[in-house]
Structure formats: structure tokens, C-alpha cells
Amino acid sequence: MRILVVSDIHANWSALSAIDEPHDICLCLGDLVDYGPDPAECVRWAMNHAHYSIRGNHDHGVAQGIAVSGDLGYRYLTRVSRPLMWDALDSEERRYLLQMPLTQRITVDGLRIFMVHATPRDPLDEYLRKDPVTWAKRVHNIEADIVCVGHSHMQFNLAVDGMVILNPGSVGQPRDGDPRAAYAVIDDNKIELKRVPYPVEQTIARVEASPLPDRAKQMIRHSLRSGRLPEAPAIIEDVE
């Protein structure tokens, strides 16, 4: 049984459609929307292809009509891109975002998988990278073999107290210095962290053609081409 695991697509259809991976089941760990130019295509893809989907903080914000304030980093990008999401999504797509659960617990071929976008303590917002000590505290009462998470846009695989924390990385906006789309495959208990190149300039051309402010376009260009944060590390506290 091959399980495709994707997360943090962020309305980047060129990146998502570059993933050509044979699989039996697809898990989607949230953040289908915000930042990128093609939210409807990405939400439709999840509606049609993801066997199990959970809600990310951006899905929640878009579905609930939450306007964001802020002038730095990703808060700024969220603030200016979110109204474009509301324009682009029809009511069915928005309803899909609204009904996605915060967590899912599934068993596939005896493998117990727990899905959450951020962390079990704070399913939408806690920002936690590859930190074994803190992850051990977060998952100590989760009965699972693999805990699948997203949110940090950092691809990793971490053994903690007899289970594995798997972050497939971000399909549509990697932040680890590698601009290729990131995802993971679980195949008979073996986890593969994978990357695939995609036509980044195609996404950038779509962004350029959008009504986003020039500053936002510049930040997205830099982020997608470099696979890094769009501004100085001082905004690290501010990531979403």
C-alpha cells in the first residue's frame, strides 16, 4: 500500500500538478489556500483526490472569512492574498475547507496514522520544527505509529518514543532552501521524503498577472525561487 502525503499546497497548482506519484491513498495535511494564484484548482484537486484531508490555519481563515492584519512577512502576504481567495472560491469549495476536521486518525494495513496540521496541542497554529524534545511532549498521549504534520514547511522525519513524526514539507511554498515541491510517500512502513522540480516561473507569471501589490509579488517571487522566507529572519516569529 503506497500512501501519498502532501501538505501546505498554498494555491500553487503548478507545483501540485507536478507530483506524479503512483499511490493507493492520498493524505492532505492542510493549507490548500493563501499566497498562491490558483486556490480553486488546488481545493478541487483535494476534493477529488485526497482520501483524508485535515484543516490548516489558512483553510480555516479563508473558510471562516477571517481578515488578517499585519505588515510583516507572511502575515502581510496572508492579509493581501486572502481577499483573492474569497473571490476565487465558489461556495462548494469554501464549504469543503470549512468541513475539514482538525485531526484525523486512520489505520491503513495495521499502520496507525494520526494527522494534524500543526501539533496535537494546537492543531492550527503551533509552529514546531524538527525538535525531538518538544515533539516528544506533544505526542506522548497519541497512540499512533506515524504522526503526520505540516505547517512549518520543513520536510523531516523524526523518531520519537517509538513513533515517527513525519512532515512531508510544503508542496507549494518550501522554506528549507530547496524550491522544489516537497511531499512524502509511506510504502509498507518505509517513509520516503521526496522532491520534484516544477515550473516555478509558471506560478510566478500567474502571480504577476494577479492584482496583488508589487511588494507582495516581489516577496512571492523571492520565496518561490529560493525556497526561503521572503524577508530577513527577524520575521521568523511571524510565520504561519
Under the rule (CB under 5 A), what is the footprint of Fe ion? 8, 31
CA distance 64 to 225: 31
Question: In the bound complex, what is the minimum distance in angstroms from residue 9's beta carbon to Fe ion?
Answer: 9
φ, ψ of residue 201 in degrees (nearest 5)? -65, -25
**CB closer to Fe ion, 8 vs 126:** 8
Helices of type H across the chain:
13-17, 39-49, 57-63, 73-88, 91-99, 132-139, 200-208, 214-226
Question: To the nearest whole angstrom, how small is the minimum distance from the Cβ of residue 63 to Fe ion?
Answer: 15
Q: Which is nearer to Fe ion, 2 or 222 (CB)?
A: 222
- Shorter beta-carbon distance to Fe ion: residue 9 or 18: 9
Exposure of 65 in the CB half-sphere (CA atoms within 13 A): 2
Q: By C-beta, is 31 or 38 nearer to Fe ion?
A: 31
Q: How far is the CB of 186 from Fe ion (least distance, A)?
A: 21
CA atoms of 140 and 14, how far apart (whole Å) = 38
Is the Cβ of residue 31 or residue 41 nearer to Fe ion in the bound state?
A: 31
HSE-up (13 A, CA, CB side) for residue 238? 19
Q: How far is the CB of 56 from Fe ion (least distance, A)?
A: 6
Supply the minimum distance, in Å, between the C-beta of residue 44 and Fe ion. 19
Distance in angstroms (rounded) separating the CA atoms of residues 194 and 5: 10
Rg (CA), the chain: 17
- Identity of the residue, 111 or 127, whose beta carbon is nearer to Fe ion in the bound complex: 127
* Secondary-structure percent of the chain, ordered helix, strand, coil, rounded to 5: 35, 20, 45
Distance of CA 171 to the CA centre of its chain: 7
Closest residue to Fe ion in the complex (CB)? 31
**Least distance in angstroms from the C-beta of 171 to Fe ion:** 10
> Phi/psi at 28 (nearest 5 deg)?
-120, 125
